[in-house]
Structure 1
Amino acid sequence: MTNRENARKNRRKRREKRKKIVLFACVLMSFLIIKGCGLNTSNQQNPGEQDAGKEVNLVSKEKEAKKEKQAKVEEEKRAIAKNSNHINAASKYAYDTKEIRDMMTGKIESDGKKVAFLTFDDGPNNKITPQILDTLDKENVPATFFIVGSRVTENVKDVVNRIIKDGHGIALHSFSHDYHKLYPGRSGNTENILEEMNKANEALQNILGKDFSTHVLRFPGGHMSWKNMEGPTEALASNGMEWIDWNCLVGDGERKSVRPTSAAGQLKYVKSTLEQNENKDKAVVLLHDAGNKQLTANALPQIIQYLRDSGYSFGILK
């Protein structure tokens, strides 16, 4: 073979080799493109699926936002109304103490609305107070607890918190419940009474927080039992505090000779003392939740039923 022929042969081999390389590159490129398109297609939703996904996410977010909003609303309802003796949810059945006292005593004309105020003196404790709270919860009835400040300790912290959280009102019944200190010579001592009420309020704030502040009080023994009470009542009123007594009672604090000895007897006592009033629209009922008042706890369902059957709604004092 001549040199010229060899040269032609080598050129032909090189051309064929280049063709094979180009062909292989084209095949490889086509494969990669097809594979890439397949991946994109498998990972990408069609427009309809994308819109559906967006709608699901939107609905889910809306539900979550609604739940959070509802939780905040419920939390706000359970929060103590600032500078008050009850939670926000209780505002709808909380009545002004002075106004109720003036209606009860005939100082102002009644509005004709029948409202009963169950008021419990001398607590709190871990024996009787929880039983009373259980009954009130079962009957869906609010009440006002007139608390003795010296009894507000860490030992009853849960009970005090429950009174507020369950939608009841908290009022003051002095700090010591000491008649000799409050009424030396059976005469109201303005300085001592004011000091005791403020001290009791502070004891409650230590547990319930600074938003809590009660403006309702009941004098131990009742306002009507003591002499020279004008000074104390004026001093308390100037500090935004109002007192209230009662116009019917279960008799659990009466002397033993007349004190009822059965639940039926307590109910009868309520009926008879309420009937003695000219104005019966507002029934402020005196009960006690001291540790030895098991009979009162037992009688409470009957007393609630009687008042309810008599057309009374229930409220708290503020």
Structure 2
Amino acid sequence: MASGNMKDIKRRIKSVQSTMQITKAMELVASSKLRHAKERVSQSRPYFNTMYSTITRLASVTRDADSVFTQKREVKNSLYIVIAGDRGLAGGFNSSIFKLGAAQMGGKNAHVLTIGKKAQEHYSKRDWPVLGNYPGIAETMKISDTHPIIHQTIDLFKKGEIDEVFLCYTEFVSPLQQDAKCIQLLPVNFKKQGGQTADKNGAGVLTEYDPSPEAVFDAIIPEYLYGVLYGAVVESFCSEQSARRMAMEAAADNAGEMIENLNLSYNRARQAAITQEITEIVAGSGQVG
């Protein structure tokens, strides 16, 4: 009986050791990808900040009614671009963004455009209509990869098929913190900051736009949306790797603790088997005597 129990424990130890090797390997891979992803995040943020400040200056000299991108209309249909991961085993990374998306879409006639395999799988089983799927692009994302997504979005918005557009993604705050966020893309809304900007000496500088501020604004909005979407995908991918690294590290630690407990159980069963054998030998020798 004890021998059979020892075999089961030994089999479980080998199984857990095999699992721990996999989780440690996945942790190392995620750590390597995280380093590269953090570099991409740090490189994308200055571009977005510069683009945002430029377009904010433009918005300050235009009226909301001058551009199709700023005109507010009655909201009948909404579009949500949801960015999730291409793989699982990342803790609550994917579920967090899906919960946020569900909360934001509640009570609306919402449509979905997915980025990431997990988002594609999730919304294929839901009632919200899916207008497009873009799996497997996050890791090698380039700014040009955002063009078809933004072109599709702008086309639907201009035709009036979609009245507002939101972007749901996960912001990378630190290796220990990732925050799910949902921001509005269209219609764009920038805080008015006046028609002048300051130069290095603090003097007011009036910028002239050719052919007009409105024309320049409409031309630069797609570039702005490219940058926002690219930044969101890069942030989400970095967050995914960070979440997976933490999840695999926790799994490896749990596996190590489980192996220790199993080894303790194995030693106890082995000691019990030895004690039983000694007892049987002593009892047998007594009967012979």
**What is the TM-score with the length of structure 1 in the denominator?**
0.21
Asked which structure has the greater RCO (Cα within 8 Å, sep 6+), the reply is 2
- Structure exhibiting the larger radius of gyration computed from Cα positions: 1
**What is the TM-score with the length of structure 2 in the denominator?**
0.22
